[in-house]
Amino acid sequence: MTRVFLLDVDNTLIDNDRAKGDLDREIRTLVRPDRAGAFWSVYEEVRQERGGVDFPETLRRFRRAFPDEARAGDVERAVMSVPFERYLFPRALDVIAYLWTLGTVVIVSDGDRVYQPMKIARAGLSRAAKGNVFVYAHKEDHLAEVQIRFPADHYVHIDDKASLLARTKERLDGRVTTIHVRQGHYASDPPAGPLPDLTVDRIADLLAIDPARFTA
Ligand SMILES: [Mg+2]
């Protein structure tokens, strides 16, 4: 039986909440507090508008809104140089290596086309996934595409967002096991649909799960 693991990135493999907190602190050392606040307002505005985080667009709009900001270049450098390899959750790479012993690992992440692939590469995740990386603005709309590229008898979707797991469950019912990793600020959001098959508190917990449960 062929098995494909669909792995999310933000708050599943990378502690994005912590990375964002550290970036905020760094930006506050670069610009006045009201400018730092404005940066995150623009970030939220873009997120609402596009349905996802988009740092390149956030930086563009920030520069346009504050053409007088002398440190705009430093803010951009801070955003573009976040050392994501330091924000991997403990044992995230071990989990990927372990899942490779059970099937094929595919990263399926939400994000923009520039920053998100860079983040995934910098964290060492592209290499760990052997280049199997998909980045979409709304990944739930591309499940069919992923299935064509990676056909399998059974899928295992691992994500911090229970609502996304519910969408996958509805579409692949009987051919998918959904695993909710309760990390990050979406951890307690309701699933809005079928409940996850398994719930773990940390990505590292997957190392201790009986592999049979990935298919049951
Ligand atoms: Mg996520």
pLDDT at 216: 66
Measured in angstroms, how far is the CA atom of residue 90 from the centroid of ligand 1? 16
d(CA 68, ligand 1 centre) in Å: 35
CATH homologous superfamily of domain 3-14+87-214?
A: HAD superfamily/HAD-like (3.40.50.1000)
Average pLDDT of every residue of the chain: 96
Residue ranges covered by each domain of the chain: 3-14+87-214, 16-84
* CA distances in angstroms from 136 to 19, 46, 83, 139, 149, listed in the order given: 21, 16, 22, 5, 15
pLDDT at 1: 86
Q: What is the pLDDT of residues 113-158, one digit of tens each?
A: 999 999 999 999 999 999 999 999 999 999 999 999 999 999 999 9
Write the pLDDT tens digit of every residue in 19-64: 999 999 999 999 999 999 999 999 999 999 998 899 999 999 999 9
Cα 125 to middle of ligand 1, angstroms:
14
Q: How far is CA 119 from CA 5, 19, 21, 172, in A?
A: 20, 11, 16, 29
pLDDT tens digits along 149-204:
999 999 999 999 999 999 999 999 889 999 999 999 888 888 789 999 999 999 99
Centroid of ligand 1 to alpha carbon of 184 (angstroms): 8
